[in-house]
Structure 1
Amino acid sequence: MNEQDKKLITQLYRDHNRYMVAGDTKKLGALLADNFHLVHMTGMVQTKAEWLGQIDSKQMNYFSSTEEHVEIKEERGNKATLIGQSQVDASIHGSRNTWPLQLNLHVEKLADGWKIMNIDAEMY
């Protein structure tokens, strides 16, 4: 994997966080593969449509995301995993807190660029 791809993947993570906080589900959705799914730190699994719908309805409302650490682990030439650690201030189903959230973004380079295939979230 070349340095340009690593920069693009890192920017993908940062854009993901920025659009999540902005509540811009149109731009956020464009970063996600059609068959994307998110595994929350609770173990709950959501499809792309379910997660974006809950952001739109403010059931999941992200106020800020402060990046602390980013690391890319290459799997194969067109697939990689980015591990991003951020302090995330959010209200999830009415419960607001700041969580030390680690997102494991599984990304793949498709015809139209790097896309987030799925995310596994956990605390660090």
Structure 2
Amino acid sequence: MYRKHNQSMVAGNIDKLGALLADDFHLVHMTGMVQSKQKWLSEIQSGQMHYFSSTEDHIAVTELTAEHAVLVGQSQVDASIHGSRNTWPLQLELHLNKVNGQWLIMHIDASMY
């Protein structure tokens, strides 16, 4: 899920990315800003948030049950966010639930490592 998320984000494929996210998904950016699924996808589509690359450093599953998982992924992410381009050491904590037999990302907490 982490790799599919990053690949879709870098490709700018909001359809594939959106399919990985729960309808009530939210993203907490490293700044503390909270974005809904719709807002985040619209900013990717408009180019306000553009992801050039994501180079994976580390992934760990920290919780896992039949219906819930928490995954922590660390990647070097080259992105332009609202006109400011940088490569960030980005840690994403993905909270996933199994919904109707399919894993969905419920929310992501982003920080730097």
Q: Answer whether TM exceeds 0.5 for this pair.
A: yes
Higher helix share: 1
Which position in structure 2 is the counterpart of 1:91? Answer: 80
How many residue pairs get matched?
A: 113
TM-score (norm 2): 0.97
Which position in structure 1 is the counterpart of 2:96? Answer: 107
Unaligned runs of 5+ in 1: 1-11
Unaligned runs of 5+ in 2: none
Out of 8, 11, 29, the position equivalent to 2:18 is 29
Q: CA deviation at 1:75?
A: 5.1
Name the amino acid aligned to 1:14.
R
Give the alignment of 1:1-124 within 5 angstroms: 12-74=1-63, 76-124=65-113
Higher strand share: 2
Aligned CA-pair RMSD: 0.8
- Overall identity of the aligned pairs, in %: 66
Query: Once superposed, which parts of structure 1, at least 4 consecutive aligned residues long, lie more than 2 Å away?
Result: none
Q: CA deviation at 1:74?
A: 1.6
How far apart, in 2, do the equivalents of 1:112 and 1:23 lie? 26
The one-character-per-residue Cα deviations of 1:2-60 (angstroms, maximum 9, x if unpaired) are xxxxxxxxxx1100000000000011000000000000000000000000000000000
Name the amino acid aligned to 2:55.
T
